[in-house]
Amino acid sequence: EPEVTQTPSHQVTQMGQEVILRCVPISNHLYFYWYRQILGQKVEFLVSFYNNEISEKSEIFDDQFSVERPDGSNFTLKIRSTKLEDSAMYFCASSPNYSPRLTRLPNEQFFGPGTRLTVL
């Protein structure tokens, strides 16, 4: 069964450093997402991506964050200058290849295993 993969599984960085979290969504999916989950808390939406551009983003997704789909398979989240409060589990997710514009419903989302980011 196809699945979303993420690398690395754990990233430790110093405050102020840039990090890039990588994801390979399921191959025939068209919508991609990043979420974060601070330890013991709920899953928070960061950004959605469709047709090579950001579709929606939350208040958390400020200028320090960016996403990119550099090729046909990878989907990356970059944090330019990490802060202590960026420490969290970051989940990538993807949705099947039908447009919500037609169904008007959010798609079932398939989550990757996550990257645990620790900022020291």
Residues that bind other proteins (CB under 8 A): 31, 33, 41-45, 48, 50, 55-56, 91, 95, 100, 104-114
Under 8 Å between Cβ of 18 and 82: yes
6 or 14: CB nearest other proteins = 6
Residue 25 Cβ, how far from other proteins at the closest point, in Å? 14
Give me Rg for the CA atoms of the chain. Answer: 14
33 or 75: CB nearest other proteins = 33
Contacts of 77 (CB under 8 A, 6+ apart): 20, 21, 23, 34, 46, 47, 65, 66, 67, 90, 92
Residue 52 Cβ, how far from other proteins at the closest point, in Å? 15
Residue 67 Cβ, how far from other proteins at the closest point, in Å? 14
CA dihedral defined by 32, 91, 22, 74, rounded to 10 degrees?
Answer: -20
Residue 62 Cβ, how far from other proteins at the closest point, in Å? 17
